[in-house]
Structure 1
């Protein structure tokens, strides 16, 4: 097959005989122009059917897909063996473009070794006041069934007055707003709302 040399570069319009190696339908005069146009072109860049064949010497290597950028936020950790709460860093995996607007997914397997977690969203603080930044409590639903020890750090923050004892680990993340589309750093300022919740939990 003879290579066409009169195609216009998608970015600058100059004549070219080189094309994107993935979709083989977008023309570029140099790799730099494909890189510059990649943010737009990647949305339409689809591999052709297997019947299409072109001379490989004219293909420009398509940029690799971007690696997901993990975010890291400060969370409050209530460890069963500890006498008091502490802070820890939690990495969150961004959601895909198809779920745009949803909150990143926290990676919590280092805290919950059985891999089972459930979440509770705390939207009210002391005296029933709405929290500007809701809190996301993660815990293991099987901790009580496995005879996990009573969480000493929660027992201590409630001075042992909670009507029901918590068992197992609790990790608390803080939403960055009422729409709950991301997380921000939790801090000791969030402890009064958490203490009120643990006291009222039945």
Structure 2
């Protein structure tokens, strides 16, 4: 994708001298955009680690690559590796904001696998906080987006559904097309994405399978063991409760 001035969209090769991740055509446009660029510029310069991400700016006309700072989160008992904490401000920060995510792994509804997982972050509370409609998404979908996306939207690569909090750099030349297709399709009857809080970890799947097996055993018991059905049901309920608490 050709680099263009963030203010006027003129093709250019001159970048911000401080963060080197935003392009401008003149000193006048650097000064004009500085009030908006300042917070991002400082965060990127201070960051020890960054990922390349794709920004669908709420008031911009096309997506662009940005640097997304991140740090290692604290280790947890069931995952000694820790996790990668994304610093989503200033894009998704602020009062009444609720960053949420989708995982996109196919090109379109029931389409071929991408061979990678794209993590898409947006503001779940846009209807509450009055965030404006995302002009960038409206533009790249030519108004065909089935869902009224609002506020800023970010995307980068995830390392997969078993490593939800581990990421990779987005490559805009490869990842933009499936994201545009997702924006066009999401909201229709078939959904090509896996929504964040609907993702079930492998441990939960195992526990759910154990509970299902116990339930099946209690239903399909031999006639001679019918008197054990109430006991089997109680065991099933207790195990299900323990699985839920331990997760």
TM-score normalized by structure 1?
A: 0.59
Matched, 1:120 2:102: yes
Q: TM-score, normalised by structure 2?
A: 0.49
Mapping 1:90-169, distance limit 5 Å: 90-98=68-76, 99-101=79-81, 103-112=83-92, 113-114=94-95, 115-126=97-108, 128-169=111-152
Bigger CA radius of gyration: 1
CA contact (8 A) 1:133 1:178 kept: no
1:201 aligns with 2:219: no
Which runs of 5 or more residues in structure 2 are unaligned? Answer: 1-46, 188-247
Contact 2:75–2:83 at 8 Å: present in 1 too?
Answer: no
Aligned residues: CA RMSD: 2.1
Greater fraction strand: 1
Task: Indicate how the Cα distance of structure 1 residues 200 and 103 shifts in structure 2: closer, same or farther if over 3 A, else same.
Answer: farther
* C-alpha contact 2:116 2:158 (8 A) present in aligned 1: yes
Q: CA deviation at 1:102?
A: 5.4
Rounded to whole Å, the distance in 1 between the matches of 2:154 and 2:51 is: 12
Query: Does the Cα contact within 8 Å between 1:70 and 1:94 map onto a contact in 2?
Result: no
Q: Secondary structure at the match of 2:89?
A: coil
What is the aligned counterpart of 1:88 among 66, 71, 77? 66
Higher RCO (Cα < 8 Å, 6 or more apart):
1
Which structure is higher in helix share? 2
Question: What 5-or-longer segments of structure 1 have no aligned partner?
Answer: 1-68
Structure 1 position 182 matched with structure 2 position 162? no
